[in-house]
Amino acid sequence: MDASDINRSLVSELEAMGFSEVQATKALCSSGNSSLEAAVNWIVDHEDETFNDEMPMVSVDIIETPTPTFDSEQAKLKAQELRFDFILKFHEEGPSTQEERRGREKLDKEREKERIRAGKERLATKRMAEENERKRFEAQRKTEKEEESRARERIRQKLQQDMADRRARLGSSLNSGTSLKSIKTSEPETKNPLKVDSAVLSGNLITKKEVLMECLRSLRRQHKAEDMKVQRAFKTLLVYVRNIVSNPDDGKFRKIRVSNPAFQARVGLFKEGVQFLELCGFERAEKGDFLVLRSDKVDMALLRSAGMVLHTAITNPFFGLLSM
């Protein structure tokens, strides 16, 4: 394999683990350039081999030069000078015995083994951290899914209770002589959970929050292919809610022109976005041209719950998708 084809990222990781560039390159070439673990295993299996940096071979033109001539006296002086230099150097450095060389080689091997062991430990620690992160992520997804399932079940039970109450009122009206036609006309439609907001929102704050959350889940599920637009709608709705909570007495924050291009591009293009505002207390006004939240309809607890639900929808990437 050509050295230019070697994965430079893997070479850098091996160097960070304490291996030389030559070791890393040779290990990757020999192990198929496939993975970091395969390269480390190859180095361990060939730890007794010596890795030397290979220098390129360069041809050199040798030019012969005439050798200067010396007389016999000069040659003797030169030989004596060289002998003195050798003796002086020998006494300064001391003899390098075979035992000392073996000791150095053994120490080098021990150091190499320690570098390999430390590299393996770092690799194992990294993989353990990745596995723990994966498990934590899966546990979070499971918790989110269970929470959404419980919320949907509570809404379903609430709707069933409302239907039972209406049936009871219907039976009472029949007994009192009210015509069946007038009762059917006055009975609200219950097929869509978001259309029974007046009945559901008459309950406690937890139920209100669940209905608001279900509205946003429906928006996310119905338009999951337009995630960027959905996120923009969530953020715009959060701005509307925060402005009213911060300035409940300022009427300009409680009135929205439906035909406003910015509103249409961000919220109005989703029917669920308009439904969310209606669940917060907004009503159609001036022949439907405006959405208005009257001052006597401002429910601060409900608006704060709406803000919390929107924050969850914005920050949770799996919001509305796990319970499908």
Residue 154 has pLDDT above 80, yes or no: yes
Strands 255-257 and 283-285 come out as: unpaired
Predicted local distance difference test score (pLDDT) of residue 173? 57
Contact between 152 and 324 under an 8 Å Cβ cutoff? The reply is: no
Residues 6 or more apart from 139 whose CB is under 8 A from it?
Answer: none
Predicted local distance difference test score (pLDDT) of residue 149? 82
Cα–Cα distance for residue pair 292/277, rounded to 1 Å: 9
In the predicted model, what is the mean pLDDT of residues 218-247? 92
High-pLDDT (> 70) share of the chain, %: 71
Residues 6 or more apart from 283 whose CB is under 8 A from it?
Answer: 291, 292, 293, 294, 297
Give the CA dihedral 161, 162, 168, 170, nearest 10 degrees: -150
Predicted local distance difference test score (pLDDT) of residue 224? 83
Predicted local distance difference test score (pLDDT) of residue 324? 46
In the predicted model, what is the mean pLDDT of residues 194-206? 45
| pLDDT confidence tier of residue 308, bands split at 50, 70 and 90 | very high
The pLDDT tens digits for 249-288 are 998 899 999 999 989 999 999 999 999 999 999 999 888 8
Residues 6 or more apart from 28 whose CB is under 8 A from it?
Answer: 6, 7, 10, 11, 14, 39
Q: Between 258 and 60, where is the model more confident? A: 258
Residue 185 has pLDDT above 60, yes or no: no
Q: Is 214 exposed, middle or buried (0-12, 13-18, 19+ CB in 10 A)?
A: buried
Predicted local distance difference test score (pLDDT) of residue 24? 84
The pLDDT tens digits for 201-223 are 444 555 788 899 899 989 988 88
Predicted local distance difference test score (pLDDT) of residue 147? 83
**β-sheet with 283-285: strand ranges across:** 255-257, 290-292, 283-285
Cα–Cα distance for residue pair 36/123, rounded to 1 Å: 9
High-pLDDT (> 90) share of the chain, %: 25
Predicted local distance difference test score (pLDDT) of residue 322? 64
Q: Between 288 and 1, where is the model more confident? A: 288
Contact between 52 and 22 under an 8 Å Cβ cutoff? The reply is: yes
Predicted local distance difference test score (pLDDT) of residue 197? 42
Residue 163 has pLDDT above 70, yes or no: yes
**Average pLDDT over all residues of the chain:** 77
In the predicted model, what is the mean pLDDT of residues 221-250? 92
0.95 cut: is pTM over it? no
